[in-house]
Amino acid sequence: MNTGLLTTALISLFSLSILFVKAQDKKPTDRIAVTAKRMIDVRSGKEISDVVILIEKNKITGVGSNLKIPDSVKIIALGDVTLLPGLIDAHTHLLHQYYTRYGDDNSNRILEMIQLGPAKRALLGVKLAREMLDAGFTSVRDLGNSSINADIALRDAINNGDVIGPRMFVSTRALSPVGGQFQSVTPTAQGLLNEEYVQISGTEEARKAVRQAIYDGADCIKVIANSGSRRLSLEEMKVIVEEAKRANLPVAVHATDGDGPSMTAVEAGASSVEHAYTVSETVLNLMAKKNIFLVPTDVPGVTKYQERIKRAVKAGVRIAIGSDIYYEFPGRTRGQISAGMYKTYAASGMTNIEVLRAATLNPADLIGNNSIGVIEVGRFADIIAVRGNPLTDISVLEQLVFVMKDGKVYK
Query: Does residue 22 sit in helix, strand or coil?
Result: helix
Contacts of 274 (CB under 8 A, 6+ apart): 91, 143, 252, 253, 254, 255, 295, 297, 322, 324
Could you give the CA distance from residue 312 to residue 279 in angstroms, rounded to a whole number?
A: 9
pTM of the complete model: 0.91
Q: Looking at residue 14, what is its pLDDT?
A: 40
Q: What percent of the chain has pLDDT over 90?
A: 79
Q: Looking at residue 2, what is its pLDDT?
A: 52
Using 50 as the pLDDT threshold, list the residues of the chain that sit under it. Answer: 1, 5-28
Quick one: CA dihedral 120, 363, 108, 240, positive or negative? positive
Continuous H helices in 135-274? 150-159, 203-216, 234-246, 259-268
Could you give the CA distance from residue 183 to residue 185 in angstroms, rounded to a whole number?
A: 7
Rg (CA), the chain: 25
Q: What is the average pLDDT score of the chain?
A: 91
For the structural domain made of 87-372, what CATH number should be given? Answer: 3.20.20.140
Q: Looking at residue 9, what is its pLDDT?
A: 43
Q: Looking at residue 70, what is its pLDDT?
A: 93
CB 347 within 8 A of CB 149: no
CB 120 within 8 A of CB 395: no
Q: Where are the domains of the chain?
A: 27-85+373-411, 87-372
Task: Count Cβ atoms below 10 Å from residue 49 Cβ, excluding itself.
Answer: 10
Q: Looking at residue 29, what is its pLDDT?
A: 64
The CATH number of domain 27-85+373-411, selected from 1.10.3720.10, 3.40.50.10490, 3.90.226.10, 2.30.40.10:
2.30.40.10
Cα angle: 381, vertex 383, 386; to 5 degrees = 170
